[in-house]
Amino acid sequence: MILVQWSCEVPQEKLESFLNYAKNRLKPFYETHGCLRHELFFPMITDKKYFPYQISENKNRYTEQLLFKDLKDFNKFYERIEKERAAQEVVGKYTKEFEINNCNFKILMQAG
């Protein structure tokens, strides 16, 4: 399995509309373009600190995850997103409409 994960910030005034867009447009779009599962997470506020380096509780910072069967499927997905004009419009809204910024990306492969 391949897990593509990024963590970004969305301005507070754009947060509600971004959540709606992620649920109603991004999730179905990604999952019909080769992604097995799309998930969106926000920090949970808790009194308990498990690690000294625990992630910030900045409620505007989210983590998005896309799961793929293998690297071949991820590469096909990525190539399709790059080539399709309609796909560019969907993913282009991250920066153009929702002003997503300060992103950190990871591509992880399941061991074994």
Q: Is 28 helix (H, G, I), strand (E, B) or coil?
A: helix
The predicted pLDDT at position 46 comes to 74
Both structure tokens of 17? 């509309």
Sheet-wide strand order for 61-68: 37-41, 61-68, 2-9, 101-109
Look at the block and give the residue holding tokens 């019909």. 32
Phi, psi of 58 (to 5 degrees): -60, 110
CB within 8 A of 36, min separation 6: which ones?
Answer: 67, 68, 69
pLDDT tier, 70 (very low <50, low <70, confident <90, very high otherwise): very high
* Mean pLDDT to the nearest integer, 42-52: 76
Model confidence pLDDT, tens digit, residues 74-84:
999 999 989 99
pTM, two decimal places:
0.83
